[in-house]
Amino acid sequence: MFSIGKTLPKKLYVIGIIIIFAAVYSQYFIKLGQVLGFLVVYGIPVAVVSLICGRQLLQKAGRNNKTAFKFGLGLFGALTVLSVIISIVAVAIILALDPQAADLLTKLNPVLEVPPNVAWIMIAVSFLVVGPAEEYLFRGFMFGGLLNISKGKHWLPLAVASSLMFASVHAYYAVTYGVTSAVPFIALTTFSIAMSITFYWTGGNLLVPAIIHGAYDATGFLGVATTTNIGLAARGILIAIGIAFAVAYLPKKIRLVSPPPPLPSPPTSETAHSQGTISCSYCRTSNSSSDNFCAKCGAPLRQKETETR
């Protein structure tokens, strides 16, 4: 969507956001049941977003998968570490102000309050429904829509803003954990930022964020289906893999995107238009002039403004 030059009308974006929030928050006021709840919370928003810009999102959803796995897992690992550090500081402050708040941290995640046999089903649902749907809605539409409207400017603040919106739909944490809900909200926000950056760096990949999202949620249900220790071990392995990818790939990417190397003399707008290609200023890969992101490294392409007709 944001990477193919088609502008998303602001009114449609606002309508989409309202429908997403209305559908998600409906479960807090109306007893929908599990099946109907999934249809309302995920089905309606996905259908609406698909009508607005589904084709554009899906066209880019599987691009640069190898790059997406490298940076997606790496960002997940790095920002999970950051989340843990911030959460420790937050908990220390909360307990200093209210020592009794420690009891709230021992409460079970309400999403995981299912029988073991249902937990096995939810592992599959995490991969097939929850991960893909939430990445499609929140990274693809919510973050991608902001990128489209802003024409790709200020992408990092927009990633943070859309991540705060993503965290805000998980209102049940505030109800369950009270003041200590800051901990899961920090985790949700940092996870969302990691997936948003992955989406941006790869020019719109949603497949890899959906897999990482599904795997993360599935480890919680694995702890219910088997034992808590097994679930924690599985999540720990996932995080360890992410940290390893962060160490291996993120330093190179950070050097790649900031600061950029000096640009060679750019072709004239007539030449670029006639050739239909543009060279990435970072890795020198030739890309289509209609792309905003390099197909090889995912870096933003520095294109000249379209020739005035």
Are 213 and 108 found together in one domain? yes
pLDDT in tens, 167-224: 999 988 998 999 999 999 999 999 999 999 999 999 999 999 999 999 999 999 999 9
Same domain, 231 and 281: no
**249 exposed, middle or buried (CB, 10 Å; 0-12, 13-18, 19+)?**
middle
- 148 and 209 both lie in a single domain: yes
Q: Could you tell me if 51 and 65 lie in one domain?
A: yes
> What is the predicted pLDDT for the residue at 33?
81
Condensed to tens digits (0 to 9), the pLDDT of residues 229-279 reads: 999 999 999 999 999 999 999 998 877 665 545 545 454 444 444 457 777
Give the range among 34-48, 131-145, 184-198, 214-228 with minimum mean pLDDT.
34-48
Position 5 in a domain: no
CATH number at residue 272: 2.20.28
In this structure, the answer to whether residues 27 and 113 fall within a common structural domain is yes
The percent helix, strand, coil of the chain (3-state, each to 5) is: 70, 5, 25
Instruction: Give the pLDDT score at 274.
Output: 46
Distance from C-alpha of 285 to C-alpha of 280, rounded to nearest angstrom? 5
- The structure's pTM equals 0.83
Question: Do 175 and 278 belong together in one domain?
Answer: no
Token pair listed for 205? 């990949």
Residue 21 reports pLDDT greater than 90: yes
pLDDT above 60: residue 281:
yes
Q: Which pLDDT score is estimated for 124? A: 97
H/E stretch holding 157 reads helix 155-168
Name the residue range of residue 277's domain: 263-309
E-strand stretches of the chain: 277-279, 286-288
Q: Residue 199 carries which side chain, given as an amino acid letter?
A: F
- Are residues 180 and 287 part of one domain? no
DSSP 8-class letter at 292: S
Least confident of 57-61, 221-225, 277-281, 300-304: 300-304
| Cα-based torsion angle of the residue sequence 63, 66, 68, 73 in order, rounded to the nearest 10 degrees | 160
Q: Are residues 287 and 145 in the same domain?
A: no
Q: Cβ(99)–Cβ(180) under 8 Å?
A: no
